[in-house]
Structure 1
């Protein structure tokens, strides 16, 4: 089959020729290996027992392979990281090593972080533009330019289409499956993560069902800032012998090391008049389809309003999952534009900006996400407040919605259907 380019391919085209070694991080099945193979000549697969045993016996053998070299599932033999780091110390010529891993080794598994030698790129599931279900035309890079470009374009996607994409997943190998096979694969994906992947990382899970319950609570808290104590309470209702806080933190850390959790950090602007800002992350799983399966939902049940969300933010479970899909579709091109993504929420919750895309000079693109086809003045109040507070530090203000047309309101705030978002 022909390879369908991903947004991260443009990043690799731009960086790999100059950077000697790059690690591509992301959850299993996201397409890391297939993408990396497009940029290398040699391949070393450490999930193959014969390769793994040889490299474990002598990690320096990896350096005999043809370069550019892809080292797949490098975390299976963490010593390879240090071998690559030392090789880069000796020769920093660009385009030598790509390291792909579906888990981050525990602290101490490698002798050195690789800082200054091995770059890191996060790979996420496919955005709507990468899935080919829409014709995107509103560039995140243009929105970050500060020029407030004219917004125009029509989107064919409707609410039911967005719900279908939430359920269908952005894992490329699952896109062609039937509805039943997709449910089976996603259920198995989560179960295998708890039963096999977490123990392989060294965490003894005495009660796998307890970790699954915590993960379901996390799914119900999608797009919220619910505290981890609330997640634990939701996972163990009516139980007196709840897992300890340390156990809950261990669950979180293990799942994060598998790249299954992808929280949006709180934005803490420096040198600004903003005060009383919350510092907790907004919860997201790697793919909103995982949350759908954990909560036992479907396209029809979401459209019928089923699902009980957890956390301080208002809204339906469908609204939360639409925000999660939009967050995925915005984080990927933001990373390609060399920007970071956070969220803003005051401690008492009276002001909130769903996503803040931060340029390296500290200026921001502020984004609100609405499960609505039309936008009212009430929907713009937090964006107007932020502009009043930060002035020229705000590059642009955008509302992402489920409507059919992109346009600018009279107050300058842009309205963009999610399906039109492009790199």
Structure 2
């Protein structure tokens, strides 16, 4: 496809298709799932169109083999709108006994009724992939001179130049990683996140499970969630925030149900707690950390633009952390890893721990930049590393301060900690 920006997902999808009969790509709408799948698909059925969906449902009931007879791999977009499709694809994969037959994409988790219609789980036939909005490397803003993967395999000295300034970062936080926004004039690019926010609150959150929810209530909750992004705020805390900042409040059951709906359409993606082996008996906090799948959702919910962030650097720091978490999640998945958050009862906190399947892990603190904040990050990383019991688990593969600014990415000679601007990082 002309103008297609290559995604980290491309190679992951190819590998999964070689190993399974069907691959399911899930993620928020507008993040590029269909476009990426179309790059490799030999045929496609786009069920977002009502006429196509109705015709396909009828054909599926009459003759499954004919309905799924397209060239392979066959892309079926928004598959969850036809619940019977799951078992039909599973049956076809079993019958053909070949890999790489289907790519299913969906921007919502099937509702409970659809789940109950399934006869089989798909284990052994399906592979799952999560797609998120673009990282700065994928959208072309990061030069990719520093590889996260290389820090695990071949750590050593680095010295790479960073081109992004603080004003650039403020814009990129608010623009988000939406593929359709990349390359647009600034005003039009910033508008995409507001359009996404409007679509979520006025339409998408009802479609997910058929439960009618007032858009203004969803908006109030998303504003409260945005104010607590990057924290382990409880449902009770969100309720108190709503009470203090809005004319009406929501009860805890309603907040929980709304958040579950937002998870089902991949708007929020909380971060689990990391549980390492420690030398001491320090109690580790196990609550998840609150994040939107893209930082621009939070800025849109609060009505903020780049200038607002530049005028409030403390607030900008929270949203910058959310952008770093988005990119780290994409990079970690490509490395067979996951991203966690660490916090203990003493208040020691590490913004991100990238933990790979092979047991290696890296400790990462996120800071806007500047000597004072970097030194704070160094102290945190050093304190946490000292607490880890390396007789029971590996020592950290690396320690890194991920920054918004700074002329260079480099490794500190005195302690080996990497200082890496986000504008230099790739998977």
TM-score normalised to structure 1 length? 0.91
Q: Deviations over 1:321-353 (max 9, x none)?
A: 1111111121111100111111101135x2111
User: What is the distance in 1 between the residues matched to 2:281 and 2:368?
Assistant: 27
Deviation at 1:56, TM superposition (A): 2.1
State the distance in 1 between where 2:245 and 2:328 align: 39
Gaps of 5+ in 2: none
**Which of 236, 245, 251 is equivalent to 2:243?**
236
Moved more, 196-205 or 7-16: 196-205
Q: Deviation digits for residues 31-77 of structure 1, max 9, x if unmatched?
A: 11010011110101111222211232243243222211000011111
Contact 2:367 2:374 in 1 (8 A): no
Preserved contact between residue 19 and residue 95 of structure 1 (Cα < 8 Å): yes
Question: How does 1:161-172 map onto structure 2 within 5 Å?
Answer: 161-172=168-179
1:182-236 Cα distance to aligned partner (Å, 9 max, x none): 4544323222222221222224334321111001111111212221221122123
- Report the RMSD for the aligned CA atoms in angstroms: 2.1
Q: 1:274 to 1:155 in 2, by over 3 A?
A: farther
How do residues 207-356 of structure 1 correspond to structure 2 at under 5 angstroms? 207-237=214-244, 242-269=249-276, 275-305=282-312, 316-348=314-346, 350-356=347-353
Residue 101 of structure 1: which of 97, 101, 106 is its match?
A: 106
User: What is the TM-score normalised by the length of structure 2?
Assistant: 0.91
Q: Distance in 1 between matches of 2:195 and 2:11?
A: 32
Alpha-carbon distance in structure 2 between the residues aligned to 1:169 and 1:19: 32
Residue 186 of structure 1: which of 193, 218, 243 is its match? 193
Q: CA deviation at 1:273?
A: 5.5
Instruction: Find the residue that maps to 1:35 and give its secondary structure.
Output: helix
1:358-397 CA deviation, whole Å, 9 max, x = no partner?
A: 1113331110111113365432122112222223331111
Match for residue 121 of structure 1 among 126, 129, 140: 129
Aligned equivalents of 1:270, 1:76: Cα separation in 2: 44
Kept in 2: contact 1:26–1:259 (CA 8 A): yes
Asked if residue 373 in structure 1 is aligned to residue 370 in structure 2, the reply is: yes
The structure with the largest helix share of the pair is 2
Partner of 1:9: 10
Count of matched residue positions in the alignment of Structure 1 and Structure 2? 412
Residues 18, 93 of structure 1: 8 Å contact kept = no
Q: Say whether 1:404 aligns with 2:401.
A: no
Partner of 2:147 in structure 1?
A: 139
Contact 1:24 1:99 in 2 (8 A): yes
Decide whether the 8 Å contact of 1:353 with 1:368 is kept in 2: yes
Distance 2:84 2:3 in 1: 34
CA distance in 1: counterparts of 2:36 and 2:281, whole angstroms: 41
